Amino acid sequence: MPVDAFAVLAEPTRRRILDRLRQSERSVGELVTALAVSQPTMSKHLKVLREAGFVTSRIVAQRRIYRIETGPLEALDEWLTPYRRLWNRHLDALERHLDNRSDHQPDHQEER
């Protein structure tokens, strides 16, 4: 069954984890400290992110180091592209409409 990326990212703590990993690789302990969550909670969120392909881990000594994987985020970006174009068209049309209104409005200068 395919993973619903939006369901994975709907959880705020998971988004915060990805924000931290965007900056650099981190150990579980570093993430626990940075995000002020318990180690068991962090492990559960990292498992969800790992199973969904958003992160991978490697073992260094006795520490598990996590890094972000861009594949699922690129897939989301690709899915969002037509919506971005739609909004850009609407915003461009609004800008043209507002520009036309301001071009046809008389200047309102204060009379003294």
Higher pLDDT: 36 or 89? It is 36
Gyration radius from the chain CA atoms: 23
Average pLDDT of the residues in 91-112 = 73
pLDDT at 58: 95
Is residue 1 very low, low, confident or very high in pLDDT (cuts 50, 70, 90)?
very low
Q: Under a CB-based contact definition with an 8 Å cutoff, are residues 55 and 67 in contact?
A: yes
H or E segment to which residue 26 belongs:
strand 26-27
In angstroms, the first-to-last Cα distance of the chain is 73
Checking if the pLDDT of 12 tops 70, the result is yes
pTM of the full predicted structure?
0.75
Higher pLDDT: 12 or 3? It is 12
